[in-house]
Amino acid sequence: MVSLGNLQPLSPQFYLLLRHGLFLVLFLHLPFLGLLIGGSAVSLLLNFLGKEKRDPSYLRFSQELMGTVLMSKSALFMFGLVPPLLVWFIYARVLFDASPLPWQFWVVILAVLLSGFALLSSYRSARGRALDLSPMSAATGAAGLLAVILAVFLFSAGYGILFNPGKLPLLQKQVRFFLSWHGVVKFLLFLAFFFGMTGGAILLLCGRPAEGDEGAEAAYRELVQRFGANLAILATLVLPVFLLLDLVTLPDIALSAEVFVSSAVVVLLSLAACLTLFLSDRKGEGGPGARVAFLFVLIFLVILLRDDAAVGNAYQDQIAFLHMQAPVAELVHADEKHREKPAAADRVAGDAGKVVFEKSCAGCHRFDIRVVGPPLNEVVPKYAGDAEKLKGFIRNPVKVNPDLPSMPRLGLPEEEIDAVARYLIEKAKAGGSP
């Protein structure tokens, strides 16, 4: 695991700025990857259908679509590779001083994305040179598509971690906690959006008339419009299902009325997109493409706003502690001349211990209920107020109860061990929860 140096405590304002920065990065990054995934998948499918049916219209459609969704190398760099680096930095700050994911995780995502972009660029070049692709060129495109999908899956799994801060201490000790049902469902939700947005882009951008037989051009445009509409309709029907699963797998701490209301808005927008496709005359020149594409942009915007609210709910306690982190850290390390009043010193020690508890202990312990470890109201009184004995256990924990997992060594500095030990003893005496 890595940390970006000795990071200073965040101000609440900067924390909110980082959250909104994550929102903006995802709003630019994921739709870009979505068009690339959806367009490449449809292009490969059309290439297969064109050869099976011996219909050049499918091959032409495949060629046109690939030329539409795969942008220049500079766009691939700016919207495909830079955003994961920004997310890495944001995670390192939003998750309080160190990302729970090792740097190798982010390097793998970047490497897989880069290889996928290279393979898809090769496929696009071959697709642009000829309608009839060789099996090797088609295999190159399929490999590139799978690479980008794998990168999005890894990214979605890492994104899912952000919604469950209670899981972070476990993840820092065992990588197997990286995968979660919420991360998998988030990936499927993104895929549904990707293909719906691709359907809207097909309706809006593809099927342009070319010089030639008007009857053939009309048939080609009808093929394009029908394919794009069917793809968008299928996505609008599937998307609410994954949205519901996403709600079910969200931890309770992330839920709120705002999350439920925004989810209902997504369902209504999906219904509006579906009705637009059913009621519009796709044979007209304008068609429903612009409206459908706009609705899918709104759908993704509301999904991100909902996720932003869920993250804010999950970290509301930590946000409150940001108000005290800087002054507490300053007071804990103050010189002796700043500790003249015993009452003030006790208050500072209590605040410092609470901060350490929430940062390092709260993921596994509560005072009144069992989480990973036993309730602290049952354990701490056994030390009979002996802070030195409790500090010794925190410093070098040993397995006591065979029914519970071993407590890991936290590696806390001595002043933090002292602060949290005194905090636990005082809270246990009061019989209260933090």
Looking at the predicted structure, is the pLDDT value of residue 53 above 80?
Answer: yes
Domain boundaries along the sequence of the chain: 12-313, 318-430
Which range, of 127-136, 300-309, 392-401, averages the lowest pLDDT?
392-401
Q: What is the pLDDT of residue 338?
A: 44
Q: What is the pLDDT of residue 243?
A: 95
Looking at the predicted structure, is the pLDDT value of residue 335 above 60?
Answer: no
CATH superfamily of 318-430: Cytochrome c-like domain (1.10.760.10)
Looking at the predicted structure, is the pLDDT value of residue 148 above 60?
Answer: yes
Please tell me the distance from the alpha carbon of residue 45 to that of residue 261, in angstroms, as a whole number: 37
208: its two tokens: 């342009």
167: its two tokens: 């899981």
Q: What is the average pLDDT across 382-404?
A: 78
Which range, of 76-80, 109-113, 331-335, averages the lowest pLDDT?
331-335
Looking at the predicted structure, is the pLDDT value of residue 27 above 80?
Answer: yes
Which range, of 156-160, 206-210, 392-396, 417-421, averages the lowest pLDDT?
206-210
pLDDT band at 339 (very low <50, low <70, confident <90, very high): very low
Q: What is the pLDDT of residue 431?
A: 66
Q: What is the average pLDDT across 4-28?
A: 69
pLDDT band at 108 (very low <50, low <70, confident <90, very high): very high
Q: What is the pLDDT of residue 4?
A: 35
97: its two tokens: 């001083």
Q: What is the average pLDDT across 215-230?
A: 86
pTM of the complete model: 0.71
pLDDT band at 36 (very low <50, low <70, confident <90, very high): very high
Q: What is the pLDDT of residue 144?
A: 95
Q: What is the pLDDT of residue 329?
A: 45
Q: What is the pLDDT of residue 356?
A: 81
Assign a CATH topology to domain 12-313. Answer: Formate dehydrogenase/DMSO reductase fold (1.20.1630)
- Residue-wise pLDDT for 314-324, tens only, equals 877 666 655 54
Looking at the predicted structure, is the pLDDT value of residue 214 above 80?
Answer: no
Please tell me the distance from the alpha carbon of residue 375 to that of residue 355, in angstroms, as a whole number: 19
On average, the pLDDT of the chain sits at: 80
Higher-pLDDT residue of 318, 158: 158
Higher-pLDDT residue of 320, 273: 273
Looking at the predicted structure, is the pLDDT value of residue 120 above 50?
Answer: yes
Higher-pLDDT residue of 116, 335: 116
What percentage of the chain reaches a pLDDT higher than 70? Answer: 77
Q: What is the average pLDDT across 383-399?
A: 80
